[in-house]
Structure 1
């Protein structure tokens, strides 16, 4: 399938894991890809491998860098059709009652406000192309898996997406969310035992792969989903409905290690 032929996608945090898989999937389906990340060497290598691609260093917490990345995309390819908001992460390690204001601000600035900055910068171009935004949230934004600050930021992404979808639907711009469960990315390289334990929580018997998320993103970002907006698609191996969820406690495996 060449669902993205003639289209341009900007992917944040594209150096590895989910972002890299998304960039590869869109390129494989004929799209031009702007890959952004703080890891310049990795995205330059990926862009060279993809061919019709551009690598741009981007810190989503810096508005000038966000504006510059979008401008570079449009300057290179002449348009922008898809924004994939993948940048974010769990950067708070304290228990919730000890989280400082500065830690709250750091988490929200990276994961929630960073996504908002990218949407704001992209919107004028997405309106022109009747494009769309897919934001990578998390099951943490849908259920109580711990990491309260991260979960709040991810839930905020979902509410933000619904509001953007309602506001800009009349202009033909769609906004959707993919909410992954545990995905085997390089972030877990030093915790193989934890990943193995998590398998028991998933009715499908495994944790996810970046390609699982990329497939969902490609669907929502394509014209196959032209009548879908404001939607959150959990891609989580059944963890939200499976018996493993019932065994979680505030000091259980997710609260301790995830």
Structure 2
């Protein structure tokens, strides 16, 4: 399939993991990609892999100046912008919720929620022109109580923000959707050996996700195959939101894996 032939996407946090998989998927389907990240060398490696279809740009999504510069550079290089993938964000607060400081809250929200909002604001004039769309990578943490309160609140905020943008800009032809992943095998887990195997027992499908699972969902929502879908949150989570796999991990539990 060449669903992105002639189209241009900007992917934040595209140097590795989910972001890199999304950039590869869009390029594989004929699109050009502005790959942004704070990790200069890694984002350059991803862009080099994709060749002339990719432009690497260093971006801190908490900096509006960085975002504006990336959008401008991408439009100058490729002539247009059709898709924004808000992938930047992460769980950066590890303290107990009752111990979290105001500064901690601001750090988490600025990265995950405000950063995504700033990216939308910068991209929106171009997306209106191309009748493009936005896909934001949220999390099951924004849909159910899996802990990490500050991160969960930021991810839930992305869902509400998306619904409001979808309602406001639908008549302009711009669509806004969310993909909410469960646990995904990314380099962030490399320092915690055995954790993903433990988490796999929570999932009715018996495994954690791969970055390519998320990239496939993003490619669908960002393409014309989803032309009449907006304001929607698509959980891509191996069934963990069905409940029993999370609630019963005992040897007698229905989803226990030896």
Deviations 1:73-118 (A, max 9, x none): 1111110000000000001111000000000000000000000000
- Tell whether the 8 Å contact from 1:13 to 1:37 is kept in structure 2 after alignment: yes
Question: Contact between 1:63 and 1:117, CA under 8 Å: does it hold in 2?
Answer: yes
Conserved in 2, the CA contact under 8 Å of 1:203 and 1:242?
no
C-alpha distance in structure 2 between counterparts of 1:212 and 1:118, whole Å: 24
**TM-score normalised by structure 1 residue count:** 0.95
- Residue 68 of structure 1 pairs with residue 69 of structure 2: yes
Distance 1:172 1:104 in 2: 34
Structure 2 residue aligned with 1:122: 123
Counterpart in 1 of 2:42?
42
Query: Following TM superposition, by how much is the alpha carbon of 1:136 offset from its aligned partner in structure 2, in angstroms?
Result: 0.1
Partner of residue 3, structure 1? 3
- Where in structure 2 are the equivalents of 1:140-219 lying within 5 Å? 140-219=141-220
Following superposition, which runs of at least 4 residues in structure 1 exceed 6 angstroms of deviation?
A: none
Q: Would you say the 8 A contact 1:199–1:206 is kept in 2?
A: yes
Say whether the 8 Å CA contact 1:202–1:242 is kept in structure 2: no
> 1:251 is matched with which residue?
none
- What SS class does the counterpart of residue 136 from structure 2 fall into? strand
Three-state SS of the structure 2 residue aligned to 1:97 is: helix
CA contact (8 A) 1:119 1:133 kept: yes
Deviation, structure 1 residue 247 = 4.1
RMSD: 0.8
Q: Which residue number in structure 1 is paired with residue 255 of structure 2?
A: none
Q: 1:29 maps to which residue?
A: 29
Question: Which residue in 2 is equivalent to 1:229?
Answer: 230
User: Where do 5+ consecutive residues of structure 1 fail to align?
Assistant: 249-258
* Length, aligned pairs only: 248
Contact 1:165 1:175 in 2 (8 A): yes
Gaps of 5+ in 2: 250-258
How many angstroms does 1:225 deviate by?
0.1
Structure 1 residue 245, shift from structure 2 partner: 2.2
